[in-house]
Amino acid sequence: MSKKPNLILFGIDSLRRDHMSLYGYHRLTTPHIDRFAQYGAVFENHFSPHIPTTPGYASMLTGLDSFGTDVVALRHQGGLGGNAVTLAEILKSEGYVTACVGFTGNVAARGFDHYLDYEGWRKDDTGRCPKADNLNQVALPLLERLAAGDQPFFLFLRHMDPHTPYLPPAPFDRLFYGGNEKDPDHRSLDEVFRFKPFAEFFKGWFPEGVTDSAYIDAQYDGAVAYLDASVQALFNRSDDLGISGNTLFVITSDHGETLNEHECYYDHHGLYDSNLTTPLIFRFQGRVPEGQRYSAYSYTKDITPTILDLLNVHTDIAFDGRSLAPLFAGGQVTSDDEFYITECTWMRKHGWRTPEWKLIVALEPDFHGKPRVELYDLVRDPEELVNVADARADIVTELERRLNEFVRLREAAVGRTNPIYTNTDWHGLGTGPFTSSEAAYEALGIRYKR
Let me know: does 271 contact 343? Beta carbons within 8 Å.
Answer: yes
Predicted confidence band of residue 450 (pLDDT cuts 50, 70, 90): low
C-alpha span between 306 and 41 (Å, rounded)? 13
The predicted-structure confidence for 203-218, as pLDDT tens digits, reads as follows 999 999 999 999 999 9
Let me know: does 12 contact 30? Beta carbons within 8 Å.
Answer: no
Q: 441: closest CA among 198, 193, 189? A: 198
Q: What is the pTM of this model?
A: 0.97
C-alpha span between 296 and 316 (Å, rounded)? 25
User: Do 6-328 and 339-443 come out as alike in CATH topology?
Assistant: no
Domain ranges of the chain: 6-328, 339-443
The predicted-structure confidence for 270-320, as pLDDT tens digits, reads as follows 999 999 999 999 999 999 999 999 999 999 999 999 999 999 999 999 999
The predicted-structure confidence for 119-148, as pLDDT tens digits, reads as follows 888 888 898 999 999 999 999 999 999 999
Q: Which CATH class is domain 6-328?
A: alpha beta
C-alpha span between 172 and 5 (Å, rounded)? 35
According to the model, what pLDDT value does residue 39 have? 97
According to the model, what pLDDT value does residue 381 have? 98
Residue 155 identity: L
According to the model, what pLDDT value does residue 1 have? 40
- Domain 339-443 coded CATH 3.30.1120.10: yes
The predicted-structure confidence for 348-376, as pLDDT tens digits, reads as follows 999 999 999 999 999 999 999 999 999 99
Strand order in the sheet with 339-344: 50-51, 339-344, 348-353, 357-362, 373-377
The predicted-structure confidence for 69-101, as pLDDT tens digits, reads as follows 999 999 999 889 878 999 999 999 999 999 999
Cα dist from 40 to 11, 233, 254, whole Å? 17, 18, 20
